[in-house]
Amino acid sequence: MICISLTSTDLDKLHKDMSRAAKLADVIEVRLDYLPDNIDIGAVLAGRPKPVIVTCRRVEDGGLYDSDDRVRISQLIRAAALGAEYIDIEVDAAREVRDVHARRIVSYHNFKTTPQNLADVQKQAIDAGADIVKIAVMANSLDDNLRVFDLLKKSQVPTAAFCMGELGTISRILGRKFGSRITYAALDRGLESAPGQLAAAELRELYRYHKIGPDTAVYGVIANPVAHSMSPAIHNAAFNEIGIDAVYLPFKVDEPVSFVNAFKAVDVQGYSVTIPHKETIMPAMDEIDATARKIGAINTVVNRAGRLFGYNTDYIAAVGELEKATELRGRKALMIGAGGGARAIAFGLVQKGVKLTVTDIASEKAQKLADDVHCSWDYIDHVRAPEVDILLNATPIGMHPKTDESPVPADWLRPETVVFDIVYNPIETRLLREARRRGCKTVSGFDMFVSQAVAQFELWTGRKAPVATMADVVRRRLTQQ
């Protein structure tokens, strides 16, 4: 069940929020600790559009209530007497609320850590007569989620268990796969009642929470930071479009090798890998595609019967998009930038017979990349784009929000030059806009970004990706910024 936890501070606002929440939630949590102390419980429950969980959370348990605990408990008892479907009471206070008509959620909250003894915590709640056990703990590492999943898999009683905080967000989505009875969500972003809560609409629409079950395959993106990644939106939409029972999650990872090894317990079927882990994740692979090994970086992991295979779809996407615009063999190309994004593209172009020159404001990086891929390099002050057939920007210059910048002057752009910009936000950079006005063929970072995701999807699933759907998702996300 999705439970929207409401933080409304007056009765009128509560009823309005309930009405909105009913469209997204299976059950609504009413937080009495946010409401006035003398609130009429009958008025709170009157006309409720969905079943409710009534709770009054103490300060030490992450709430606002700091008065007489006997008054707090009497409020919960009255809510049960007036027909509330559930009441939520902490383990240590549960003995005070026994013979009530509402179902009792007996809860444990730890805002500092995830204890080792989760099974003991669960047993205490069971012994207190819980109809549903609720365990909410703080994730200080992604591995804490695994302990929660393990508890859920072994549970013999109805249990809602999840980790709080950014590192625990995945448990709020994936807990359903392992049997968690409730996940808690906010009505809107900014209205979270606990750290790490997602907006209910995001749970329903982006992650398709109600479709997650024991057989749902798990995929995700490994990155740091990861909160603004568009990959979950792209791949979850693609899974939905062609009817694959899968969910794609954001994993905020510091140590990719230890993470991948630990999450074999979840049997993750595939990963996207992005900054800063494309190189450091490679030791975790059982096999690496020959070209990806030459590049020295992977952005895609495929799980085949427990063995992890590493690929690089960045070069596949870049070369593929350029080949739509021009013949590559024998062409002269200049690539501005020698960072991580440039590396895969450089290898791909050289493989295709392009006469490539690399330049960068950091000349030592350009020289290193040129040595690795066996191409030319030059100091950035020495290069002149009119001498080349293909001009590539592999730097962040022109990226949102600094969209008025361009890596080259407009007079470098000739009609016969193909101009490729790996920046995809905005969809049309200043460089591409000026190139189009001068009659150049252009290749956008948007096209490359979608193409690399398409190649990932097809490696994971063995099925043709819904390209139009994936492109529409990226376009909508970018235009809504």
- Mean residue pLDDT of the chain comes to 95
Q: Active-site residue among 33, 134, 177, 360?
A: 134
One domain for residues 19 and 112:
yes
One domain for residues 411 and 379:
yes
Count CB-CB contacts under 10 A for residue 307: 10
Question: Does the annotation mark 278 as catalytic?
Answer: yes
Mean pLDDT of 244-249: 98
H helix runs in 406-444, sequence order: 430-437
One domain for residues 331 and 309:
no
Q: Active-site residue among 235, 278, 352, 365?
A: 278
pTM for the whole thing?
0.93
**Within-domain flag for 476:** no
Question: Does the annotation mark 50 as catalytic?
Answer: no
One domain for residues 180 and 286:
no
Per-residue pLDDT band at 74 (split at 50, 70, 90): very high
Model pLDDT for residues 385-440, shown as the tens digit of each residue: 788 999 999 999 999 999 999 999 999 999 999 999 999 999 999 999 999 999 99
Write the burial class of residue 137 (CB in 10 Å: 0-12 exposed, 13-18 middle, 19+ buried).
Answer: buried
Per-residue pLDDT band at 481 (split at 50, 70, 90): low
Model pLDDT for residues 2-16, shown as the tens digit of each residue: 999 999 999 999 999
One domain for residues 250 and 121:
no
> What distance in Å separates the CA atoms of residue 77 and residue 82, rounded to the nearest whole number?
9
Mean pLDDT of 149-155: 97
Query: What pLDDT is stored for residue 172 in this prediction?
Result: 98
Q: List the 376-377 sheet strands across, edge first.
A: 376-377, 355-359, 332-336, 390-393, 418-421, 441-444
Domain count, the chain: 3
- CA-CA distances (angstroms) from residue 295 to 310, 315, 457? 12, 9, 21
Query: What pLDDT is stored for residue 434 in this prediction?
Result: 97
Model pLDDT for residues 94-120, shown as the tens digit of each residue: 988 888 989 999 999 999 999 999 999
Residue finishing a domain among 154, 179, 214: 214
**Within-domain flag for 349:** yes
**Euclidean distance between the first and the last CA atom of the chain, given in angstroms as a whole number:** 31
One domain for residues 462 and 350:
no
Q: Active-site residue among 88, 144, 314, 389?
A: 314
One domain for residues 300 and 346:
no
Range with the largest mean pLDDT of 84-98, 163-177, 375-389: 163-177
**Within-domain flag for 219:** no
One domain for residues 402 and 354:
yes
Helix 445-461 to helix 313-325 angle (10° resolution) is 130
Of the candidates 229, 227, 223, 220, the one whose C-alpha atom is nearest the C-alpha of residue 424 is: 229
**Within-domain flag for 7:** yes
Per-residue pLDDT band at 61 (split at 50, 70, 90): very high
**Within-domain flag for 221:** no
Count CB-CB contacts under 10 A for residue 295: 24
**Within-domain flag for 119:** yes
One domain for residues 27 and 163:
yes
Provide the residue range defining the domain that includes 299.
231-314+451-469
Identify the CATH number of the domain in which residue 375 sits: 3.40.50.720
Question: Does the annotation mark 109 as catalytic?
Answer: yes
Contact between 329 and 355 under an 8 Å Cβ cutoff? The reply is: no
Question: Does the annotation mark 211 as catalytic?
Answer: no
Query: What pLDDT is stored for residue 121 in this prediction?
Result: 97
One domain for residues 209 and 236:
no
One domain for residues 344 and 283:
no
Of the candidates 268, 219, 209, the one whose C-alpha atom is nearest the C-alpha of residue 456 is: 219
One domain for residues 271 and 327:
no
Cis before 396 (ω within 30): no
